[in-house]
Amino acid sequence: MKMVAAAKMRKVQDRMLNFRPYASRMQTVLSDLARVSEREIHPLLYLRPRKTVEVIILTSDKGLCGAFNTNILKAGANYINSLKKDGVEVSVNVVGRKARDYFRRRNVPLRKQWLGLSGRITYANAQEIASDLSENYINETFDEVIVIYNEFKSMISQKVTSMKLLPLGSIAGEGEQKGEAVTADYLYEPTRAAIFERLLPKYIEIQIYRALLESSAAEEASRMTAMENATKNCSEMITKVTLLANKVRQAGITKDLMDIVGGVEALKE
């Protein structure tokens, strides 16, 4: 399993690392565009009172990957509980069987579930998820979307990350000081509204796709580490059990020899 995870890891890590610069640059461009635009220009920029929050949690379909799923599910459950304490209605959306089973055992209703993506992530998956989220946000099914996933840091380190996907406050410069310089100047062709109409849905797809790739890379890295540790533990266990078996066998042989010697001595008398 470690060898299989290593082979998958190389592929998904290359995809993730190659995609990171594009996703970051896309965010920078939209940040500059949104800073100088009105929120009424596109429905995905609308701000509404925070009454219902959609929380989408990314896990794996399979286990044997260490604390990968445990950490993300614990963080997701804590975040959901904190929202409920604040009086916010929560809608849960999950990717992966582990998250589905976790919330099902706790009788938490799921608005949507996406299964069978582990190891087979495509951009079409991200488009499908992004389309569902955008449509429901525009229809006011929920007022905010939070994505919780494991971000890949290194082969031995993954960070649980919470990303505010909608509304696009993070890229629209919410809370920034007035008069802050824009990092770039743009000419809009054909119109600013047409550009947002095309780029904002694309941005949602890209961020979902990046989260899926990050989660997939973190999963395989965690599985490699878990399987390596399991192999080491098995080797140590085999050594200990072999040593114990040899001691028991040696004790049995010694006892038999002592019985034989005792019997011989008794016959001599």
Q: Within a domain: residue 251?
A: no
The closest of 231, 3, 5 to 118, measured between CA atoms, is 5
Token pair of 263, please? 């019997």
Q: What's the CA dihedral at 213, 132, 67, 15 to 10 degrees? A: 0
Radius of gyration of the chain (CA): 28
Q: What is the pTM of this model?
A: 0.80
Domain-embedded: residue 50: yes
The number of folded domains in the chain is 1
The two three-digit tokens of residue 229, written as one number: 């540790």
Distance CA 67, CA 100 (A): 17
pLDDT, tens digit only, all 269 positions of the chain: 777 877 777 888 888 888 888 988 887 777 777 666 677 778 888 888 889 999 999 999 988 888 889 999 999 999 999 999 989 999 999 999 999 999 999 998 999 999 988 878 889 999 999 999 999 998 989 989 999 999 888 878 888 999 888 887 544 444 444 444 445 567 777 887 888 888 888 999 999 999 999 999 888 888 888 888 788 888 888 888 989 898 888 988 888 888 888 887 777 76
Q: Token pair of 153, please?
A: 């840091």
Is the separation of the CB atoms in 168 and 200 below 8 Å?
yes
Q: Is residue 25 included in any domain, yes or no?
A: yes
Give the orientation angle of helix 68-85 with respect to helix 97-105, to 10 degrees.
Answer: 50
- Assign residue 129 the CATH number of its domain: 3.40.1380.10
Q: Domain residues for 119?
A: 2-226
Cβ neighbours around 88 below 10 Å, total: 15
Q: Is residue 235 part of a domain?
A: no
Query: Residue 127 carries which side chain, given as an amino acid letter?
Result: Q
Locate the DSSP E strands across 135-232. Answer: 144-154, 157-166
Instruction: Output the CA torsion sign for 98, 101, 113, 143.
Output: negative
Look at residue 191 in the predicted model and tell me its pLDDT. Answer: 80
The 3-state DSSP class for residue 224 equals helix
C-alpha span between 225 and 217 (Å, rounded): 12
Q: Give the list of residues 6+ apart from residue 92 with CB closer than 8 angstroms, or none.
A: 54, 55, 56, 57, 80, 103, 108, 109, 110, 111
User: Measuring CA to CA, which residue among 83, 104, 206 is closest to residue 146?
Assistant: 83
Cα(first)–Cα(last) distance of the chain, in Å?
65
Residues 22-76 pLDDT 10s: 988 887 777 777 666 677 778 888 888 889 999 999 999 988 888 889 999 999 9
- Assigned domain for 17 exists: yes
Tokens found for residue 186:
């743009």
CA 183/CA 251 separation, integer angstroms: 79
CA angle 24, 25, 29 (to 5 degrees): 120
Examine residue 95 and state whether it is found in any structural domain, yes or no. Answer: yes
Tell me whether residue 196 is in a domain: yes
Is 241 domain-assigned? Answer: no
Digit-coded pLDDT (tens) for 95-110: 999 999 999 999 989 9
Quick one: how many helices (H) and strands (E) in the chain?
5, 5
